[in-house]
Structure 1
Amino acid sequence: MWVVIIAGGRGLRFWPRSRRNRPKPVLALGSRQPLIVETVDRLRGWVPARRIFISTSESMAGIFQKTLPALPRSQFILEPEGRDTAPGVGLAALLLEKRMARSGADSVLAVLPADHVITRPAAFRRTLAQAARIAAREDVFVTLGIRPTSPSPLFGYLLPGKPYPGVKGARWLLRFQEKPAPAVARKLIARGGLWNAGMFLFRPSVLWPALRQHQPAMFAGLARIAAAAGTRREKQVIRDVFPRLKKISFDYAVMEKAEKVAMVRGDFGWTDLGGWDMLYRFQGGDGRKNLGAGRRAALDSRGCYVESEKLVALVGVENLILVETADVILVMARGQGAKLKSLVAMLEAKGLSRYL
């Protein structure tokens, strides 16, 4: 197995801790180490180190190289600019395909997020191995499914079909729906639907026909890059072509449209910390507890999350997020995290980019 870890997003829903020079994957959120370090560490000793790659933008490369000093720079796949995950996955697959072919039959590529929390790494590796077995012997995409705890519109949903023979917990996928409305999500859950964990396994030879059929312009652009790969023109062609590729996620571009997809159900303590509210719940928040990092005192207050090096005293307040950094204090009602992207855009428009 070969692994590409996608480390592209800033994680605006964790502002003000996440910044341009400190994206979400380098933060320790629900973890002792930066999220991307934990992602790499849970693969060490199981996937050879030379087969672990980081896909990120040129502007963020230095940040991740500093965070992962043991990983050679040759194992960073750099995008001229962020174009969401579909172009990034395509670029990584075409640049790695020849190396993978030289390795023989073991030519499965696993695409993993850099910023998810997994509390049972051994169970995760077992699930990933099951998915890799399917991807190695079938011309399919394989994804991992997680039992939902709510009809959240923040996740994609997988509707399982018939059992896949010979692999425990594996099924053919009946339907893949990315981020449906809560009412639709509830119906999918009632039919046994699972959350899409955002992890995909396939052989590159399976990806190209899918892109040619469903994203022909992207396929043509990647083909231009592939023709220059390994030559002195490679970097320049990537810089010319990649920024013009359609900005779209791999989920929407490929997985929703793919004709043949298998899924493996996983139970490995998975959490995609999408923002401060989810971090509150991950730490055991139930709407009554006051949680966070640092010193706090609370009187007639509940459901608050506080991060500050100063003592924070709460009196008569409920359901607040309070996060202090060296130059910013965020005070936000719990449940309003989706508005942080709009807040960041507003600050940028007001000329306050130094805080972003």
Structure 2
Amino acid sequence: MLTALIMAGGSGERFWPLSTPTKPKQLLSLFSDKSMIRETVDRILPIISADKIFIATNILQVKEIKRELPDIPEENIIIEPTFKDTAAAIGYTSMIIQEKFKFQSEKIEVVVLASDHLIKDDETFRQILLKGAQEARENSTIVTLGIEPDKPETGYGYIEVENNDDLFLNNVYRVRRFREKPNKETAEEYVSSGKYLWNSGMFIFTIDTIFKNFEVLMPEHMEILNKIRIEVCKNKMGLDLSESIKEEFEKFEKISIDFGLMEHSKNIKVIPVSIGWNDIGSFTALEEIFSSDETGNIIRNTKEVIIHNAKDNIVICNDCTVSLLGVNNLIIIKNGDNILISNKENAQDIKKIVSKYNQLKNCKK
């Protein structure tokens, strides 16, 4: 039985000021009239029904997520008491899924997806999920999707494939190891070798397999999960469940599933895919999605723009007129009373401004 876990607890700080704590990137409509999380759910509905889709989030976002996803059962929207990274979130939500379907005789497969990724080839994506679920079910493996790289990207982690021949898309291969984000020279070596894929952060496993891996590789996490299970089995939900397990949840080490489990497990498989994937990690990712004007400017959701001797800028200014004069390679974003002006080179550091912005707000209270 195929289920899905959509991770939707991120703050999306690199998209400030469009993104806020209560309406982060996954709740923005960046590419269509739908939010990114709505796009994510709609993408898998043809193969996974709404009652089998679970959302892991936090108390700040739960109200807006319920509004965006009225077809998802309320008990399937899981509120994490505090952020302890993906190992805790995946273990906790897998336990809730297991409890909900405990009377099912078949194995339960879980597809773990981000709520804020762009995927253009939905049909191929769904076919790969079904293939990965079959592999996970039949061979008790954890399957990850590896993106075929088209450039030496330094912003992604890489997956080294255990194979001496050429890699073929949509085939299943054993993973040799995971690699952290490389420098430019190393990334060029990875791509030219043909043995490396971008780590998409998407996983498929059966619940039995993931808990066996937790028991062996993360026994402290498993011990906490077993204590939390007592409350999960009482049929609590939402904020009631979140508050009842908060004390135990805070004991989790803050660690990602990649560091805690994936990099150490001996039975990881990967499927190389080309599905038009982009993790939309910062505003500069929009350059890969949208067409620019004749001078390289990308203008979105702006009432009117006046340009003279300005090129390669990204402008999103809801319902206002923007004039660009003699400026290049800037990110200019307006949302409400907040305006961001940044060089593209600093796009990954926008969260530093968010930190200072929050400090300023707290000082004025």
Shift of the 91–291 alpha-carbon distance from structure 1 to 2, 3 Å rule, reads: same
1:153 paired to 2:158: no
Tell which deviates more after alignment, 40-49 or 185-194.
Answer: 185-194
Matched residue, 2:331: 321
Letter in 1 for 2:71: A
Tell which deviates more after alignment, 326-335 or 214-223.
Answer: 214-223
| Equivalent pair of 2:98/2:207 in contact (CA under 8 Å) | yes
Long gaps (5+) in structure 2 = none
Letter in 2 for 1:196: N
Letter in 2 for 1:116: H
Between the aligned partners of 2:161 and 2:298, the Cα distance in structure 1 is 37
Shift of the 176–284 alpha-carbon distance from structure 1 to 2, 3 Å rule, reads: farther
| Equivalent pair of 2:107/2:206 in contact (CA under 8 Å) | no
Between the aligned partners of 2:158 and 2:105, the Cα distance in structure 1 is 34
Shift of the 236–341 alpha-carbon distance from structure 1 to 2, 3 Å rule, reads: closer
Between the aligned partners of 1:29 and 1:219, the Cα distance in structure 2 is 38
TM-score, normalized by length of structure 1? 0.92
Shift of the 283–129 alpha-carbon distance from structure 1 to 2, 3 Å rule, reads: same
Tell which deviates more after alignment, 12-21 or 145-154.
Answer: 145-154
Matched residue, 2:181: 179
Between the aligned partners of 2:32 and 2:340, the Cα distance in structure 1 is 22
Quote the offset at 1:127 in angstroms: 1.1
| Equivalent pair of 2:81/2:242 in contact (CA under 8 Å) | no
The alignment covers a number of residue pairs equal to 353
Between the aligned partners of 1:32 and 1:191, the Cα distance in structure 2 is 40
Long gaps (5+) in structure 1 = none
Tell which deviates more after alignment, 283-292 or 173-182.
Answer: 283-292
Matched residue, 2:305: 296
Matched residue, 2:355: 345
Quote the offset at 1:216 in angstroms: 2.3
Between the aligned partners of 2:45 and 2:216, the Cα distance in structure 1 is 36
Q: Deviation string for 1:203-234 (max 9, x for gaps)? A: 11111232233222212111111233212786
Matched residue, 2:261: 254
Between the aligned partners of 1:353 and 1:216, the Cα distance in structure 2 is 42
Shift of the 310–237 alpha-carbon distance from structure 1 to 2, 3 Å rule, reads: closer
SS at match of 2:250: helix
Between the aligned partners of 1:307 and 1:168, the Cα distance in structure 2 is 37
Between the aligned partners of 2:134 and 2:149, the Cα distance in structure 1 is 25
| Equivalent pair of 2:111/2:203 in contact (CA under 8 Å) | yes
Between the aligned partners of 1:238 and 1:24, the Cα distance in structure 2 is 27
SS at match of 1:4: strand
Matched residue, 1:242: 249
Letter in 2 for 1:239: K
Identity of aligned residues (%): 28
| Equivalent pair of 1:211/1:219 in contact (CA under 8 Å) | yes
Quote the offset at 1:305 in angstroms: 0.6
1:216 paired to 2:219: yes
Q: Deviation string for 1:19-63 (max 9, x for gaps)? A: 012111110122331000000011123212211111111232112
Matched residue, 2:49: 48
Between the aligned partners of 1:324 and 1:353, the Cα distance in structure 2 is 23
Shift of the 284–147 alpha-carbon distance from structure 1 to 2, 3 Å rule, reads: farther
Matched residue, 1:22: 23
Matched residue, 1:203: 206
Shift of the 285–85 alpha-carbon distance from structure 1 to 2, 3 Å rule, reads: farther
Letter in 2 for 1:277: T
Between the aligned partners of 1:179 and 1:213, the Cα distance in structure 2 is 27
